[in-house]
């Protein structure tokens, strides 16, 4: 549960940085603050991605897979039924 809270906090920080950059883009003439906030957002996104991948690799995060599909049942459904 702790890891999920950290992921949500990281995503909220990324969104905050994105909207802060948008604010500076629309209000300031110089774009140095915009570039700095977008750089932070990219850095936080990369760190979050790496943490998600390493967490899944070491078993801290268990990804949910797609449900198993029965190939034979799928083939039987696609064939036309004889009349």
pLDDT tens-place string over residues 23-76: 988 998 777 888 898 999 999 999 999 988 988 888 888 877 777 677 776 676
Q: Which domain holds residue 43?
A: 2-64
17 occurs within a structural domain: yes
The answer to whether the CB of 20 falls within 8 A of the CB of 41 is: no
74 occurs within a structural domain: no
Kindly give, in sequence order, each residue whose CB lies less than 8 Å from that of residue 56, ignoring residues fewer than 6 positions away. Answer: 62, 63
The answer to whether the CB of 25 falls within 8 A of the CB of 45 is: no
- What is the C-alpha to C-alpha distance for residues 47 and 64, in angstroms, rounded to an integer? 21
82 occurs within a structural domain: no
pTM as predicted:
0.68
70 occurs within a structural domain: no
The count of structural domains within the chain is: 1
The answer to whether the CB of 21 falls within 8 A of the CB of 38 is: yes
83 occurs within a structural domain: no
78 occurs within a structural domain: no
């Amino acid at each position: 549960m702790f890891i999920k809270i950290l992921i949500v906090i990281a995503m909220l920080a990324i969104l905050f940085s994105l909207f802060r950059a948008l604010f500076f883009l629309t209000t300031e003439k110089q774009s140095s603050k915009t570039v700095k906030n977008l750089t932070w957002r990219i850095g936080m996104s990369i760190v979050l991605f790496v943490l998600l991948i390493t967490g899944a690799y070491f078993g801290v995060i268990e990804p949910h897979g797609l449900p198993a599909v029965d190939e034979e049942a799928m083939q039987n459904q696609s064939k036309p039924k004889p009349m």
